[in-house]
Structure 1
Amino acid sequence: MVDIFVAGAIYYNGSYICAGISLWRVIQRDYGSMDGDITKANLMPALDLFYSLILCQGALFVLWGASLIADRSFITSLHRVCKFPKMWGFASVRNYLHHIRSKCWRGAETSMEDRGLVKYAVDLLDSESSQEDYLSGARMLDVFIKVHQVDVRPLILPSSQKVQKLIDTLRWSSSESDREIKELAARIFAHLAFNIDLTQFPGAIRCISSLLGTTQQLYWNNDQQGSSNQSPQSNKLDQQGAGDSQGDLGTTPHQSPQSRFYHLYAKIQKVIILQLNAKIQKCILQGAVKRKNTKNTKGTLDQQGAGDSKGEGDGCNELILQGLTILERLASDQHNCRDICSTPDLIAKIMSPICSDTLIQDINIMPWQDVVNGALRVVYRLIHAPEWTGGRRLAHEISISKQAVSNLEMILDQGNIACQQLQMRAMEIITELTLDSAANLAMETKENLINKQLQIFLNEGTEEDLKVTAGKTLASLSKTTGTFSVCIMSKYNHIVDQLTEILDAKNKAIYRTIAAEILENLCTLHMMDKNHVKNTLLPKVLAEVLASKKKPPSEAPECHVSKASGDIEENPLQDDEENQRPEHNVQINSSELNETQTSMMVLKEALLSLTLVIFDKWIISAEDFDDVAQKVAPGEGEFVAKLKTIVEENCEATANNLRIVKLCGQIAVTMMRRSQYSEHFKDQKFVETLSKASKITCNLESCMLFAGTDGGAKKTARPLLSDLVKEAEALVA
């Protein structure tokens, strides 16, 4: 054993031993006596040369060892910075280092961006790459997207071959060997989905649909014994579906051929939904049981990588969720919505959770709850898509399905905290159905929705996201017709007082904005008490509007510049967490500051709009408005001066600034029409300031007019600011 150890030590350290002996011999130079032997005359120079060569060899070996140590240090540092899992992270970084080194040896001229690790990972997605390289690139990109929030869309989208390869991967089999790469491709494609046009990738919708069919494949693969192993719930649903198909597929002879076809198609689709829903639930239930029986799952992500998962239920559920995420993001484009809804089997898969007659008891299972939430998000996107008639058809189909409407109503009534996401989605969908005149929802359903919205929004203990959703949907309902506003006023007699209290500065800006929008809608429909408006509401609104503050100076550009794609590895050796934390905090604080400024701008816009409605709709008289303005801004011309200050602060070519400036101009024009403050507007040179703002924002207005982006709830393009300037000039003159 000792001999083996000694031999191994000599083998691994032989070069160092030889170099040490040679150095010792060169220093000693005791090569022996020549004794006048001429044959030994060249012995000493030869030995000097021999030992020098060995020393050079040892020096090269030392340099090679130092290079290995430096490489190891670089790989370890970059691996820690990138937060790659240990299982494949070192190998991927090592391959990246070899790739860059080979480029340098070849003398290839590449920029720093081309040498980046993100760019290297994207290049591995090429169709020429091997399966191993493709998997390595997908793994790295998945970590960059999920952990570092790197935007890789500018690097992948210009290459249609890379996108097509990701799409093709979605159709791979769901076997254990291919599941990881399929999940990775699904997550990467979900990151790209907002910018994908399905018309450029024929067959893509079928590949995406296959993600939702993964559950069905696993069900049949795992259930080899056929219907004998089906659960009673599955048998019940299948029998119910068969009964529906046998008892309801008949058509009356008085129907037209088109009506009979539509009737048959709807019933067949219902049977498909019921049967598919049973299969999906069974597979997810199996995955939930496997996770429950697994005790030592902590740390699996770090060891196996972000895309790998144990258990067929987990991987299956992940593919379904990613498929629904992809569809939700694709639905942001109305052309994609048309392609999605023109695929009947895909719509059947999306609608299967909503039409399930066991939905409420099944959502207690978290994996199934996630699937239902994803399906509801897709449905809302499809029916909410603007300027697309297909959404109305889908909304009509949901509204005539008693089971779907019943499920949505029961989700609203769920008091479980875990079901808040589902409550938000159900609230959004029912609101869209309520706003659609073609969807004949029962009045009881509409009243139940409004009652739930009021309870959630006016309750101080409600979770923020749920409260915001309830408030926004309530505001959209109160904006449409007086029927809903009457219902709102009848449900809560003191709702105006409560909404006015929400305007206090102690509340969050988003709550105050929603309250202002609801109050504006009630004022528009003349449902407000004039005394309350004069004595309570208007003073509070004007005080907030006129409390204008200059914007804080912007931070230095170097503190705000976010990392571009591929820059995560520019300084890989700077892995000291203490050194990295200040920069990270600066970026977070900058983001929070920008978000706060934006929310305050939106609040100011809502309050200005409410002020305009109160004055323009004659909620109170001009004299009463003047009394309130004098109390809030005492002094000769002080109200006009503060209104001018708001215009000066918002002379920027952005949509929010443009809306604020226009609201100030509309308030000024309305006041001058009633012969109020005309001299003050003239003395303060308000019209000149408004004209300057018009010149700054005219290009933005032109773009909005051409693009037709003025059809939403917030009117930005009209009235034109130049028209307001002309009218103001005429009134001042």
Structure 2
Amino acid sequence: MARLLIAITILFIQQLVFAVILCPLAALYLCGLVITGGISLWRLIRRDYGEVDGGANLQPALNVLYSLALFQGVLFCYRFFSYSAGDGLVSKVVEEYKLDKEGPFRKSVKEYLRQTRNGCAKDPSFIKERNLVTYAVDLMKFESSGSYLSGARILDALLAQSELKEQHSMIAQLIGSASCSQIVEKLLQALDSRSRQDKEIMELAARIVVKLAGEIHLKRFPQGILCISSLLETSQRQPDDDSAPSDEFKSLMKQGLVILDSLAADKHNCSLICEDQSLLFKVMAPISSDMLHLIDHDEWFSVAAASLQVMCRIVTSPGSTGENQTTHGCSSGSGHQKPRKIHQDNGSHPHL
């Protein structure tokens, strides 16, 4: 009983100390500048300083003191409301781009706002020629994987909005410049399925490369074709049973084919693609292998269609290089038998 009474007494004292001392101190710490600003404003309005010796000199001094305290309180309130408005601005940007309000893009925009605010606090000219696009491109120049991922998320989000023509033009101009060649190289390296790249980085890089294919010249990036080709290597692996390939299996192949189709729109890129015989075999593999017939057409249709699209792009490219290379590829091995099978089985997909 005595121990219980002691425990209750100690608990009561702790609560009393918390309520009487700690809570007021916390309130004073958080709102001290607001409180002193309010008191200073009240004293400046009243100007009731009393009658003392030397009052002629004391009154102006008190006016200055209260004015400084009031100014400090105003700055504190401005900074507080500025940060509060910043969260609202971030929400507005995320909503404008129709993205997840609590997703990673929001964190990237919030970090952009924070860095811009801090930079402007040191130098007001910091904001000159700076926007979300230039911020994202600068992030992708860093060696940090976190910064690179954040920049890629922003670019992907902007490129996904077809109505943002001005932003798309700016991104293409920046990425296409010689100073950003390392960014293009990183994007192509991120496509290498043989390396242990983060899945999200690979998917982001694939979507960005598709959108910016017109600004990418493979001649400047000798390893680019190998990285893209690695996405199609799974097409050379025949399944052990009749089970359908995984979604990731098909997604990697389709992404690689779509990227090649976009790059092949440039005649110089198309020539380099045609010169790579092993790459052409991988492009034709989805329709020349037994995969198309071992599994349901519905599951393999999108990949086969993407393969045909790339072949069509190569064959119809200016000059005869594309046609000759594709014809040679189709006539090698057993590949020349498969297009005939596709024609026979395309009842459910007349587009093939």
Question: What's the C-alpha RMSD, in Å, of the aligned pairs?
Answer: 3.5
Partner of 2:81: 66
Q: What are the superposed Cα offsets for residues 85-127 of structure 1, whole Å, 9 maximum, x if unpaired?
A: 332233322333345452685365886xx3332233233333x
1:393 deviates by: 4.3
Distance 1:369 1:143 in 2: 28
Equivalent runs, 1:148-167 vs 2, <5 Å? 148=162, 150-151=168-169, 152-159=171-178, 160-167=181-188
Partner of 1:297: none
Q: What are the superposed Cα offsets for residues 117-141 of structure 1, whole Å, 9 maximum, x if unpaired?
A: 2233233333x45332222221111
Partner of 1:698: none
Partner of 1:278: 239
- Compared CA separation, residues 39 and 120, structure 1 to 2 (3 A): closer
1:50 deviates by: 3.7
1:43 deviates by: 6.3
- Compared CA separation, residues 359 and 119, structure 1 to 2 (3 A): same
- Compared CA separation, residues 361 and 280, structure 1 to 2 (3 A): closer
- Compared CA separation, residues 142 and 59, structure 1 to 2 (3 A): same
Partner of 1:131: 145
Gaps of 5+ in 1: 217-272, 288-312, 427-733
1:186 deviates by: 1.6
Equivalent runs, 1:176-215 vs 2, <5 Å? 178-213=198-233, 215=234
- Compared CA separation, residues 395 and 344, structure 1 to 2 (3 A): closer
Distance 2:287 2:326 in 1: 13
- Compared CA separation, residues 183 and 380, structure 1 to 2 (3 A): same
Distance 2:114 2:80 in 1: 16
Q: What are the superposed Cα offsets for residues 338-384 of structure 1, whole Å, 9 maximum, x if unpaired?
A: 43244344333322221233514524454x33222222222222233
Distance 1:105 1:280 in 2: 64
- Compared CA separation, residues 147 and 106, structure 1 to 2 (3 A): same
Helix, strand or coil for the counterpart of 1:354? helix
1:170 deviates by: 2.2
Partner of 1:88: 104
Helix, strand or coil for the counterpart of 1:285? coil
Partner of 2:254: 321
Q: TM-score, normalised by structure 1?
A: 0.39
- Compared CA separation, residues 49 and 387, structure 1 to 2 (3 A): closer
Helix, strand or coil for the counterpart of 1:352? helix
Partner of 2:314: 382
1:27 deviates by: 4.0
1:12 and 2:30 correspond: yes
Q: What are the superposed Cα offsets for residues 23-67 of structure 1, whole Å, 9 maximum, x if unpaired?
A: 334444555665xxx599976665544433322211221222232
Distance 1:209 1:45 in 2: 79
Q: Is the 8 A contact 1:189 1:326 kept in 2?
A: yes
Q: Which amino acid aligns with 2:150?
A: S
- Compared CA separation, residues 194 and 39, structure 1 to 2 (3 A): closer
Distance 1:28 1:401 in 2: 96
Distance 1:43 1:109 in 2: 43
Q: Is the 8 A contact 2:277 2:325 kept in 1?
A: no
Distance 1:277 1:347 in 2: 18
Name segments (4+ residues, structure 1) moved above 6 Å: 39-43, 279-282
1:169 deviates by: 2.5
Partner of 2:134: 119
Partner of 2:157: 143
Distance 1:383 1:341 in 2: 10
1:142 deviates by: 0.7
Gaps of 5+ in 2: 1-14
Q: Is the 8 A contact 2:287 2:304 kept in 1?
A: yes
Q: Is the 8 A contact 2:242 2:294 kept in 1?
A: no
Distance 1:93 1:279 in 2: 47
**What is the total number of aligned residue pairs between the two structures?**
323
1:178 deviates by: 1.6
1:346 and 2:269 correspond: no
Please tell me whether Structure 1 or Structure 2 has the larger radius of gyration of its CA atoms: 1
Distance 2:266 2:78 in 1: 58
- Residue identity over aligned pairs, in percent, reads 37
Q: Is the 8 A contact 1:18 1:54 kept in 2?
A: yes
1:55 aligned residue (50, 67, 70) = 70
Equivalent runs, 1:638-653 vs 2, <5 Å? none
Q: Which amino acid aligns with 2:187?
A: L
